[in-house]
């Protein structure tokens, strides 16, 4: 990271703030986008997407019933 190299010369508040902001952005991307398997990775994202799409999702919206997401690989049929 160029910010770390810059801090080896002279340290200033702007350089430290830039480093902190960049680290915060990297952490956000790791957690929000589930990179490298963090928070379940792609399987968890696919299960969440499957839970939020289709007829089951529409039924939950209009009836007010909330069901937990189905396990990955489970059929997405209607729930009782």
Residue-wise pLDDT for 59-70, tens only, equals 878 887 665 555
Say how many domains are in the chain.
Answer: 2
Average the pLDDT over 3-20 and give the result: 84
* pLDDT over threshold 80, residue 30: yes
The pTM of this model reads 0.48
Between helix 2-9 and helix 13-32 the angle, nearest 10°, is 160
In this structure, are 50 and 71 located in the same domain?
yes
What is the domain range of residue 12?
A: 1-32
Q: How far apart are CA 12 and CA 15, in angstroms?
A: 5
User: With bands split at pLDDT 50, 70 and 90, how would you rate the model's confidence at 22?
Assistant: very high
Kindly state whether residues 46 and 67 are assigned to the same domain. yes
Please determine, for residue 53, whether its predicted confidence score (pLDDT) is greater than 90: no
């Amino acid at each position: 990271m160029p910010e770390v190299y810059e801090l080896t010369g002279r340290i200033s508040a702007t350089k430290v703030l830039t480093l902190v902001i960049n680290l915060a952005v990297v952490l956000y991307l790791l957690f929000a986008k589930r990179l490298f398997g963090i928070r379940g990775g792609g399987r968890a994202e696919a299960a969440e997407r499957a839970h939020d799409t289709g007829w089951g999702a529409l039924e939950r919206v209009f009836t007010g019933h909330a069901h937990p997401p189905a396990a990955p690989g489970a059929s997405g049929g209607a729930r009782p």
